[in-house]
Amino acid sequence: MMIALHKNARTTPAIRAEIASSTDSVLALAQRYGISEETARKWKKRTSVHDASHTPHRLQTTLTPAQECVVVELRRTLLLPLDDLLAVTREFICPKATRSGLDRCLRRHGVGNLGNLKPAHLRRRARRSRPTSRATCTWT
């Protein structure tokens, strides 16, 4: 079984389990396994021997849920590009809004791609240009 460890991890799940179940002092465990006392104390306290998630449990956004709804509806109705929508958002909704935060908000609500929001008859079609014949090109 492959264990996915962080490249700087000094302990494995087996060592962590030994630390958690040991009755030795934190100092003795730290010296035995070549880790800091803080690390030994941390694994002694934990109930699981696996790494904890490092992703945030709550997104840090500058827009409230109500403001996000307004921005999403503006995007759907006015079909504004991101930079124009950012200017409107900063002027009338939230002056602290950032471009990256607004982009994440739009993607989260499924309106990140402006091309997908436009009606089919307004979408620009990619046209293949046909190469001109060599006879019409003159280099003089």
Per-domain residue ranges of the chain = 13-45, 65-119
Q: What is the pLDDT of residues 25-54, one digit of tens each?
A: 999 999 999 999 999 999 999 888 887 777
Mean of pLDDT values over 56-74: 89
Residue 90 and residue 97 in contact, taking contact as beta carbons nearer than 8 Å: yes
What CA–CA distance (Å, rounded) separates 78 from 37?
Answer: 58
pTM: 0.53
Mean pLDDT of 49-68: 83
* CA-wise closest residue to 36 among 5, 6, 15, 10: 10
pLDDT of residue 127: 60
Q: How far apart are CA 126 and CA 107, in angstroms?
A: 24
Mean pLDDT for the stretch of residues 118-140: 63
**pLDDT, average across residues 122-132:** 62
Q: How far apart are CA 96 and CA 63, in angstroms?
A: 9
Nearest 5 degrees, angle CA 125-CA 127-CA 132?
170
